[in-house]
Structure 1
Amino acid sequence: MKRCSAPVMAILLIGSLVAACGESGDSSYTLTIETGGEGTTDPAPGTYTYPSGTWVTVTATPAAGRNFLGWSGAGAGLDNPVTISLDADKTLTATFGAAFEPTTYQNPVLPGDHPDLNIYREGDAFYLVGSTFHMMPAFEILRSTDLVRWERVTRVVNSTATALDEQTGPGQGTWGGFITKADDVYRVYYSIGATQHFSSAPSLAGPWSEPTKVDVFPYTPPGSETSYERGTGSDNSVFVDPDSGKTYMLIKNGLCKWDADNPNDFGINLATEIDPATGMLVPESTIDLSFINWDQETGGCGDFTDPDWSKWAEGPTMAKRGEWYYYFVSTHTACGGQLHAWASKKLAGSTSEDWTWLGYVLTGEEPYAGVQHITAPLELEDGTWWAFAHSYDCSEVGTQDWKNGEWMGLGREGLLLSMDWVEQEVGGQTIPVPRFATQVRDLPAPELPRSDVPFLLPVNDEFSSDKIGPAWTSYGRSEDRYSVTDRPEWLRIKPGAEETTWVVQKDALRSSTMIVKMEFTPEADGDAAGVRLGNGYWQDEQVLSAPTWMASDEKFMLPAIMEASVARVMEDNADKIRFSFRSRSVMPPSEEGGAYTELAEPVVVGASVPAPSGATVWLKLVRAGHMATGWFSSDGVDWTQVGAEIDLSTLDHFYAMAHTWIGNQAGMFATNKSADFDLFVYRDGLTPIPAAEADQESGAGVVSSESAGSVLGELENGDWAMYGSVDLGSGGVSSKAIELKAASAGQGGAVEVWIDPLAGGSAIGTCNIPGTGGWEEWVTTTCDVKPTAGTHEVYLKVTGGTGELLRLASLRFVPAM
């Protein structure tokens, strides 16, 4: 509304600046300030009249527990405060929304390979440890306060440790592990070569001592007159008896019942007290639980001459609830593996007469249809019980045991399980039997103080620290082959001649976009460096040492080394960029049970193109499900594809036990010649991210689309999905907008884009998605977001009317040019 008053009103100071009306006299306009949601503004909501040309500054303030989501109308965006110029009547609306208070979680909470876990609690903090095998440095310690979000604390064992001599090859290294504390000294135990060792430290952050071997003591099986040295086991755990206060090591080694005709290989399950002063075992305190190996009917392997190879008793843990002790052991470690349990009112006895078998208490269902190896069950202050377990992703296995799952190559992922106790009649007694929740999504989270740390995924890294982060590992004794101090703020990988050095992390996603910025100029044929994704063997000849029992079962692939990479190479005396997938397997043994002696010829698919000029190059390896593409760039913005896409299905569903127990790894490598890396990105946000690949979500579900494949659906008002470790721009690049590929058969809805809300972050934009006319009618909507760079957790929160509002196929952030 334009109003002209007497010329005497020429200049006023309101807000910042007021201009005169003009030749026709002074004028004024109205600014209407409105709010949506719980919050207010300064000036307060209402209608104000200002002289023409006035600049008015408005500040939005959310109510307690709410967040400012942005302006609409005269001042669209997220700048707060915002300044509006009055050159017409205008309306400005501030929108507020609820803060994120997730009360649910989905499994896995530890994606990627996290096997053989044990848990330790101290105050409000929980610590997890497990097997790392030949990935060095070994023995990773994780920390959390809420059991859902974990951070890496440290790694304990360097590959240079004398105890690892001859124990750094595939499948070796450190197995299992647990934490104890006595007289303010922490000890972490782990197995090297099926024998326990420990390291000590004044703090769980270290510094840690070199490994000390736990003394081995002889064991005499019932019915034998001979003692045997069976070692001190692997995948052990610890139990502190609340009645006596004594700390016991739960020992496991070998399979089946002792047999006088086959005396050198049998199973032992023992509970032996740990001397708190020395950390050594007290043999005379041993409680013999080896009877659990004897009978197939109660979960044992039985007679060694006729074993049931689907059953044994590994990964022992123990807990006490009320008057009952519970002893948990696991069967085989593939899809279909199970957990069974025994109960007793006394921690004693060496026969099944003292203990009652409770049966198989946990198997799991697809996709995690092999849940077992639980940690000792843990009771929280609110009376709820929890445990961690591991399982392969057994998607598409169905009811067939021992068949590979679709994503078995990721390894044994870490699952958080809630527990209930159900009283049952077992063996003529009423015993509370543990029951575990096996659903994957929308699980009630533990009521604990929140861990203000990112969801645990591979890290994006610009190598700006003077120490390499604990997420990074290498194979065997390679720690002297890479450095972040040789060239500050760069990672230098420096292999020897005719060698390859890999610096890698656990692969954890079904879709990812890995990027490296690298300085490297190959000089001789065979020189290579770049980004890669591969499995557990890292040298061809090592595949010959793979387990041979799989060769007799057609359901298994023969052991193989597989690697996809985008690399700069010298090939036929030319500097090239190569995208390839290489696989090499063993030849079947000539006789059943025989050793592998020959390797098949390598199978390589891919393409090479001339490399750009200059030493600096950006390389990108994109995976969307099982399909991969390779790319290169001279500036990290404009990309050129190398060859066609490649199917990585064989790598994704390869049984990790066949390639040395670990899941796939992602990272960088160099061959023959040093290469410098300025940047590693695991999940690039400037490349489309499949919306169905959320790391955590609430209310959403994965549904199938004929035209878009698996998409995120069932999205109603208040539902959200989180994508962790998303890089929104590095090396001077930032994001300015987001593209959402969406469909809606109804009225559509709004998608709020949040970053790091659990760490105090806020919304950076809102996208209004219209109805598209059907669930197969996909439209890409681009919306501005607050300019953002760096690594973040990205949340998409849906708001709107009732029912299913929309479905999302993908999200992609748009770089500022």
Structure 2
Amino acid sequence: MKQHSASITAMILMGCLPISCGEEVRPVPLPPAPLEYALTIEARGDGTTAPPPGTYLHEAGTVVTVTAIPAPSADFAGWSGAASEADDAVEITVDGGKTLTAAFETATWPNEPSATYLNPILPGDHPDMNVYVEGDDFYITGSSFNIAPNVEILHSRDLIHWERVSRVVDPAWSGLEASTSAGGGTWGGFIVKVAAGYRVYFAVNFNQYFAEADSLAGPWGEPVHVEPLGPYTPPGEDPELVSFDRGTGYDDSVFVDDDGTTYLVVKAGQCKWNGLTGGEENNFGVNLLQKIDPETGQLTGETIDLSFVNWNTQNGGCGDPATDPDNAVEENWAEGPTMTKRNGFYYYFDSTHTGCGGEQVGWRSATLSSNPADWAPLGSVLKGDAPFSGAQHSSAPFQIADGTWWVFSHSYECDNSWRGLGRQGLLSQVTWMDDEGGAGVPVVNGRLGEPAPAPALPPSGIPFLLPVNDDFEQEKLSPAWTFYGNMPSDRYSVTDRRGWLRVKPAKDETRWVIQKDALHAKAMVVRMDFAPTAEGDAAGVRLGNAVFPEQELTAFPTWASAASLEVSVARVRADGGDRIRFAFRSVVPVLSADGSAYESTDATVISYDAEAPSDQVLWLKLVHGEDHQATGWFSTDRLTWTQVGEPIDISALEDYDTVNTGWVGSQAGVFASNTSADFDLFTYRDGFTGIAAAEPDQESSTEVMSSPSEGPVLGGLEDGDWAMYGSVDLGSGGVESTEIELRASSAKGGAVEVWLDPLAGGRRVATCDIPATGGWETWTTATCKVSAAGTHEVYLKAKGGSGELLRLASLRFVPGKN
């Protein structure tokens, strides 16, 4: 048996089987091995596949599923080779050697003009604007008051996105020495092109000055005083009996006629001349066109008198208090005059006043004349609506390349408790209603508080103008930063300690480094190196209005509801301890017993303290929202935060009227008292704190809706609609974004693409799927991965099928250590 078994085994090993015992053994072939073929998978562009790209051997007939996986910044463009389907997953039957290639294309933002825009185009305090147009470039100047350096010049190519070009007036200029308190400084501003370069005119103490430069980027020369023409006599009066020195005005502008003749468009005083003699009164309204010598920049003496615009209330003046006191309206005074020319007609515009309820009034003439009969009153040509029901003080209307006309105006948010932001910059289209002779009446289109058709201008890569987040790595302080009045150069530095801003007050002094506040809701964050050692030492982050010494507050007229208001989170030395203090401070003037004058001030402070950590370097955060509730926080790593005390209502700050408090809107930034403090990071809009989706800075085809559970939300989001949130810090100081959380609802499901800086060539960083939640009032938090750091414009773009896809309540980036 053993031998037989071995023989059989041998025959099997030889590939043979025994037929029968003793019979001849013949070889029998084995079954053929299964055929194998190579499947090669390739990926071209920014993406990969599953299975990953490579060459794989498969038995003939095997069906392999291959899925295309684009990177967040790319789209799957299709298959080539073994398949041509558009689906991202395909099945390949391996019946021969095959190659399958997945193609990916980098997602791009549409490179075309915006369809709509949202006011304010210039959020925050941008009063008294004048526009200068040179080819395809637009420039704006306006009033700075005591926010220095003074006379800021902004530039744009699409009228929506603006960048800082320069500031004209050094705060150390001697002409400002008597005018650096709140309400002082420089008023107005306008640009004139001259042979040698440019002149910028502005007013200080109701008199005009100009500075010159080869380029609008500067550097600017020492300001030159515009010499007045001498005493002014009202029309019809005897110059031997009636004459007053009226200076050269304030909130003036410039008008250049078709032949190049340039006029200073002057305003001084208010109301109609009341007939008084002997110098008893000189504040009557004077509105003039005064010819400018192009060589010297001075006035030539040629004057056209338009002071009649002050004579009646129906056409924007405040009437005649002497002869008709019952009908005089003293808050109207035909201010902020501008002029343009169209179809051979001159158009003159002035404002009734600068606050809520003010209007823009127009006049038209076929000739430049001092005769009132030559000028046809056009009545109110610009009257704002909620929330910008104070729209006026407009620039001269101007024309762009496609033939349309536009105008800038300013207004408080008069109807929703946000006047503290100041008079914000608004853009409006102008339609001309012409008669057969080409004489027109300008009509401002659209509602100022709602999305409107945008100018048909190429998109700009300039970020939307908001306060900047800053790591202070530059050799000079960013031009976004300003000061109250003259900040001596030895009181701050970005070179004493590279990468840090050092604020260096003297003993018993506070110094501020500030930017214009511009948002309803935000979280400001600073990283600070500071150890208070003496009682009263303090440093931190602050939001407030103009700074007033007590004597300035008590000097206000009794009709002004003046106040000095600020909220801050600071490290302080108080009562012998090292503390983190969250505080709201309000200082208001107190009337005398007879109500005739302010005689003292009354300070109210609401504050909460927490024991400071042992770390000398720490983070402070000041958060406030649409409900005017502010909170204060501190941290040692920017990841874990400790709240200081309870929320504080700061509505008194955010709804104060800047007309009554030095004309200047809210300012945000950092401060130090008594001793130096170092800051190596300032964040105006922290992306790691929730951002209300209903507060976009710009948008396309969205709608703010009310949710019973979430409050105001962003709705109406159909495929392709988007919202933009500017100046968002997505990571700094060793922390970066790892995810984004979207609070959303959806009746049928959709997706949100997250883009960073798409107008500047930025990328899509995520696509977040939003599941169907079962109804618009069923909310979920969708989370998707994002890897980003630095300051960006964040765009959220809806994607999906037809109809409304989703609504958004908030967005928040999730931090992690980098």
Q: Is residue 331 from structure 1 mapped to residue 375 from structure 2 by the alignment?
A: no
Question: 1:340 corresponds to which residue?
Answer: 361
Question: 1:279 corresponds to which residue?
Answer: 297
Identify the match of residue 391 of structure 1 among 411, 417, 423. 411
Identify the match of residue 453 of structure 2 among 433, 444, 447. 444
Q: Is residue 486 from structure 1 mapped to residue 490 from structure 2 by the alignment?
A: no
Residues 1:719 and 1:27: Cα distance change in structure 2 (over 3 Å): closer
- How far off is 1:541 after superposition? 3.9
Q: Is residue 414 from structure 1 mapped to residue 408 from structure 2 by the alignment?
A: no
Say whether the 8 Å CA contact 1:537–1:660 is kept in structure 2: no
- How far off is 1:7 after superposition? 9.0
- How far off is 1:430 after superposition? 8.3
* Deviation digits for residues 476-509 of structure 1 (CA, Å, limit 9, x no counterpart): 1114221111212111100111000000000000
Residue correspondence of structure 1 range 530-679 to structure 2 within 5 A = 530-550=540-560, 558-592=561-595, 594-600=596-602, 602-625=603-626, 626-679=628-681
What letter matches 1:595 in structure 2?
A
CA distance in 2 between partners of 1:287 and 1:20 (Å): 89
Identify the match of residue 269 of structure 2 among 254, 276, 297. 254
Three-state SS of the structure 1 residue aligned to 2:121 is: coil
Say whether the 8 Å CA contact 2:40–2:100 is kept in structure 1: no
Residues 1:18 and 1:376: Cα distance change in structure 2 (over 3 Å): closer
Say whether the 8 Å CA contact 1:698–1:720 is kept in structure 2: yes
Say whether the 8 Å CA contact 2:60–2:94 is kept in structure 1: no
What letter matches 2:452 in structure 1?
L
CA distance in 2 between partners of 1:45 and 1:490 (Å): 56
What letter matches 2:543 in structure 1?
L
Residues 1:163 and 1:45: Cα distance change in structure 2 (over 3 Å): farther
Say whether the 8 Å CA contact 1:631–1:642 is kept in structure 2: yes
Question: 2:10 corresponds to which residue?
Answer: none
Residues 1:607 and 1:542: Cα distance change in structure 2 (over 3 Å): same
Moved more, 562-571 or 213-222: 213-222
Residues 1:802 and 1:29: Cα distance change in structure 2 (over 3 Å): closer
Question: 1:497 corresponds to which residue?
Answer: 507
Question: 2:714 corresponds to which residue?
Answer: 712
Say whether the 8 Å CA contact 1:338–1:363 is kept in structure 2: yes
Residue correspondence of structure 1 range 133-172 to structure 2 within 5 A = 133-172=145-184
Residues 1:358 and 1:98: Cα distance change in structure 2 (over 3 Å): closer
With the length of structure 1 as denominator, give the TM-score of the two structures: 0.88
Moved more, 221-230 or 192-201: 221-230
Question: 1:472 corresponds to which residue?
Answer: 481
Three-state SS of the structure 2 residue aligned to 1:543 is: helix
* Deviation digits for residues 541-590 of structure 1 (CA, Å, limit 9, x no counterpart): 4322334223xxxxxxx311111000000011111111111111111244
- How far off is 1:34 after superposition? 8.9
Residue correspondence of structure 1 range 280-359 to structure 2 within 5 A = 280-283=298-301, 285-305=302-322, 306=325, 307-348=328-369, 350-359=370-379
Question: 1:238 corresponds to which residue?
Answer: 254
Say whether the 8 Å CA contact 2:446–2:452 is kept in structure 1: no
Say whether the 8 Å CA contact 2:713–2:808 is kept in structure 1: yes
Say whether the 8 Å CA contact 1:753–1:765 is kept in structure 2: yes
Identify the match of residue 725 of structure 1 among 714, 724, 727. 727
Identify the match of residue 114 of structure 2 among 96, 99, 102. 102
- How far off is 1:206 after superposition? 0.4
Q: Is residue 204 from structure 1 mapped to residue 221 from structure 2 by the alignment?
A: no
- How far off is 1:748 after superposition? 2.5
- How far off is 1:56 after superposition? 9.4
- How far off is 1:221 after superposition? 1.2
- How far off is 1:708 after superposition? 1.3
- How far off is 1:45 after superposition? 4.8
- How far off is 1:791 after superposition? 0.6
Residues 1:58 and 1:101: Cα distance change in structure 2 (over 3 Å): farther
Percent identity between the two aligned chains: 52
Q: Is residue 179 from structure 1 mapped to residue 191 from structure 2 by the alignment?
A: yes
- How far off is 1:18 after superposition? 6.0
Question: 1:793 corresponds to which residue?
Answer: 793
Say whether the 8 Å CA contact 2:41–2:101 is kept in structure 1: no
What letter matches 1:679 in structure 2?
L
Residues 1:465 and 1:33: Cα distance change in structure 2 (over 3 Å): closer
- How far off is 1:14 after superposition? 6.5
Moved more, 439-448 or 98-107: 98-107
Say whether the 8 Å CA contact 2:182–2:664 is kept in structure 1: no
Three-state SS of the structure 2 residue aligned to 1:645 is: strand
CA distance in 2 between partners of 1:116 and 1:487 (Å): 38
Three-state SS of the structure 2 residue aligned to 1:163 is: helix
Question: 1:400 corresponds to which residue?
Answer: none
Residue correspondence of structure 1 range 212-227 to structure 2 within 5 A = 212-218=224-230, 219-224=232-237, 225=239, 226-227=242-243
Residues 1:640 and 1:100: Cα distance change in structure 2 (over 3 Å): farther
CA distance in 1 between partners of 2:319 and 2:710 (Å): 51
- How far off is 1:214 after superposition? 0.6
Residues 1:33 and 1:227: Cα distance change in structure 2 (over 3 Å): same
**Size of the alignment, in residue pairs?**
752
Say whether the 8 Å CA contact 1:511–1:623 is kept in structure 2: yes
Question: 2:131 corresponds to which residue?
Answer: 119
- How far off is 1:767 after superposition? 1.2
Three-state SS of the structure 1 residue aligned to 2:498 is: coil
CA distance in 2 between partners of 1:264 and 1:703 (Å): 53
Question: 2:387 corresponds to which residue?
Answer: 367
What letter matches 2:264 in structure 1?
M
Say whether the 8 Å CA contact 2:728–2:791 is kept in structure 1: yes
Question: 1:402 corresponds to which residue?
Answer: none
Question: 2:744 corresponds to which residue?
Answer: 742
Three-state SS of the structure 1 residue aligned to 2:600 is: coil
- How far off is 1:50 after superposition? 8.3
Question: 2:105 corresponds to which residue?
Answer: 61
- Name which one, 1 or 2, has greater alpha-carbon Rg: 2
CA distance in 1 between partners of 2:711 and 2:75 (Å): 36
CA distance in 1 between partners of 2:727 and 2:245 (Å): 47
- How far off is 1:31 after superposition? 1.6
Residues 1:57 and 1:164: Cα distance change in structure 2 (over 3 Å): farther
CA distance in 2 between partners of 1:151 and 1:18 (Å): 49
Moved more, 799-808 or 38-47: 38-47
CA distance in 2 between partners of 1:720 and 1:664 (Å): 29
Question: 1:784 corresponds to which residue?
Answer: 785
CA distance in 2 between partners of 1:196 and 1:447 (Å): 36
Residue correspondence of structure 1 range 450-461 to structure 2 within 5 A = 450-461=459-470
Three-state SS of the structure 1 residue aligned to 2:373 is: coil
CA distance in 2 between partners of 1:136 and 1:738 (Å): 38
CA distance in 2 between partners of 1:55 and 1:194 (Å): 79
CA distance in 1 between partners of 2:79 and 2:526 (Å): 45
Say whether the 8 Å CA contact 1:34–1:45 is kept in structure 2: no
Computed over aligned residues only, the root mean square deviation of the Cα atoms, in angstroms, reads: 2.6
Question: 1:87 corresponds to which residue?
Answer: none
CA distance in 1 between partners of 2:751 and 2:532 (Å): 50
With the length of structure 2 as denominator, give the TM-score of the two structures: 0.88
CA distance in 2 between partners of 1:442 and 1:596 (Å): 44
CA distance in 1 between partners of 2:592 and 2:446 (Å): 40
- Ranges in structure 1 where 5+ consecutive residues have no aligned partner: 68-96, 397-405, 551-557
Moved more, 30-39 or 375-384: 30-39
Say whether the 8 Å CA contact 1:755–1:764 is kept in structure 2: yes
Say whether the 8 Å CA contact 1:133–1:174 is kept in structure 2: yes
Say whether the 8 Å CA contact 1:195–1:231 is kept in structure 2: yes
CA distance in 1 between partners of 2:163 and 2:642 (Å): 36
